[in-house]
Amino acid sequence: MSTSTHTDGGSGVTTFIGPLLLTPTQAATDLAIGRTKVFELLRSGELESVRIGSNRRIPREALQDYVSRLRHDEHGRQHVDL
């Protein structure tokens, strides 16, 4: 899957050019994790998805939200040195 980005002049707004909805396989590739993990995240509700007929699709924005939550959780945790 090819995705490119475009930054709008000096506004700092980045637009992702590519599909708005991803298959679980595409989402796994973009997150660099396995399909099984994507399905676990979908089942647990950690990763948002939509249904189109019998197909499950993941909004690109849901991937960005998931990664943002991971980053926030990681920065908010207190690390203990062993």
Indicate whether 18 belongs to any domain: no
pLDDT at 74: 77
Tell me how many domains the chain contains.
1
Indicate whether 14 belongs to any domain: no
Indicate whether 55 belongs to any domain: yes
- Per the structure, the complete domain to which residue 49 belongs is given by 23-75
pLDDT digits (tens, 9 = 90+) for 20-35: 999 999 999 999 999 9
pLDDT digits (tens, 9 = 90+) for 29-68: 999 999 999 999 999 999 999 999 999 999 999 999 999 9
Indicate whether 61 belongs to any domain: yes
String of DSSP letters for 16-72: EES-SEE-HHHHHHHHTS-HHHHHHHHHHTSS--EEETTEEEEEHHHHHHHHHHHHH
Residue 82 has pLDDT above 70, yes or no: no
Indicate whether 7 belongs to any domain: no
Q: Which residues contact 28 (CB under 8 A, 6 or more apart)?
A: 34, 35, 37, 38
Model pTM above 0.75: no
